[in-house]
Structure 1
């Protein structure tokens, strides 16, 4: 029976160091592609740019691009997911500025509404163009991208339910319905009903989930 020889510690350290360095270089290359795409969207006001334009702007190779992304769709999806993670962090911070469960949920609703509302002179093609297409063609990807935000709203609904201010039941479904109401209302604000305010949206959502009168 042969004796198992343990790998020397120096070898493990060398391999780990090499792996960390390779991971860091890959992350830097990916970020350069993302930054290039962001600049192109800002300049064009649309997602109508080519992979080659992203490659040229990033000063990297086409081969490197396809080592990290399957194509333009995956690049835009990465930008979309990153934007939603940032948005979720802003919503969590707004909620944490309040101590009681219901004001925390209200802050989250009003912050999300503010994020989603169109702003004069500001084009957000990632949301106005790509997100709408994604919703039709790849709904599971939309759901996955919104998961960080949904997790936060679920926590807040659970907290409000525990305090007796929101009906107990299916908090994740309630959170999803609140989010969908807020997002749809923000994108349709200024339509036939005229401009809507964040407090109006909050009151509408609250009537749907409030424990009052149950």
Structure 2
């Protein structure tokens, strides 16, 4: 049986009419309308105009479906962020990357999708930790590349534990996104990319 984590995001994008693609688009459509991930497999199946048997030929659970969806989004986003940051000095590349990750959604539908998937991340990290770590690995790798570039340039301090520091920065950025509204409630100022960059970069400077 083909599982979500056996099919690359590139394969799904290259075959948009595949059953996997139909299920993922149906899940995105529900997320865009509700901003919630408590929909059922049956709702996805009905919207995709397929069958439960077909769904379970490709995904064992709803978690696997959403993991595949996040996998595709993360792979596409990281590819774009790498293109934007490759030619920049490390400090500026880190600023741009954090800013892009934290950029607010441009539509209410995109905001609903982002909100639903952001809060579902914690569940996936607990229920499918190894698979979820693999999904985040492209972003972790990109942050690590920027850190190594900064060390070579002399803009970041030597001796950084790059792998660990990259993981901490990634977690700080993704976690802070959940606190965007809470920051406004706590001190009257919403948390944005610049705040997160300033917090992260303090530990990187010589």
Both structures adopt the same fold (TM-score exceeding 0.5): yes
Provide the TM-score with structure 1 as the length reference: 0.76
Does the CA contact (< 8 Å) of 2:147 and 2:162 recur in 1? Answer: yes
Greater relative CO (CA pairs within 8 A, separation 6+): 2
Matching of residues 1-214 of structure 1 within 5 Å: 28-96=18-86, 98-114=87-103, 121=108, 122-123=111-112, 124-169=114-159, 170-191=161-182, 192-193=186-187, 194-211=189-206
TM-score, normalized by length of structure 2?
Answer: 0.79
Whole-angstrom distance in 2 between the partners of 1:71 and 1:128: 19
Q: Which moved more, 1:160-169 or 1:125-134?
A: 125-134
The 1-side partners of 2:181 and 2:107 are apart by 12
CA contact (8 A) 2:37 2:117 kept: no
Structure 2 CA distance for aligned equivalents of residues 54 and 110 of structure 1: 33
Mark the runs of 5 or more structure 2 residues left unpaired by the alignment: 1-13
Contact 2:124 2:132 survives alignment (8 Å): yes
Cα distance in 2 for partners of 1:59, 1:137 equals: 28
Deviation at 1:120, TM superposition (A): 8.4
- Contact 1:118/1:186 (8 A) holds in 2: no
What displacement does 1:73 show? 1.4
Distance 1:71 1:45 in 2: 20
Shift in Å at residue 118 of structure 1?
7.3
Regions of 4+ moved over 6 Å: 24-27
Q: C-alpha distance in 2, partners of 1:62/1:120?
A: 32
Structure of higher CA gyration radius: 1
> CA shift at 1:155, angstroms?
0.6
| Root mean square deviation of aligned Cα | 2.4
Query: Number of residue pairs matched?
Result: 185
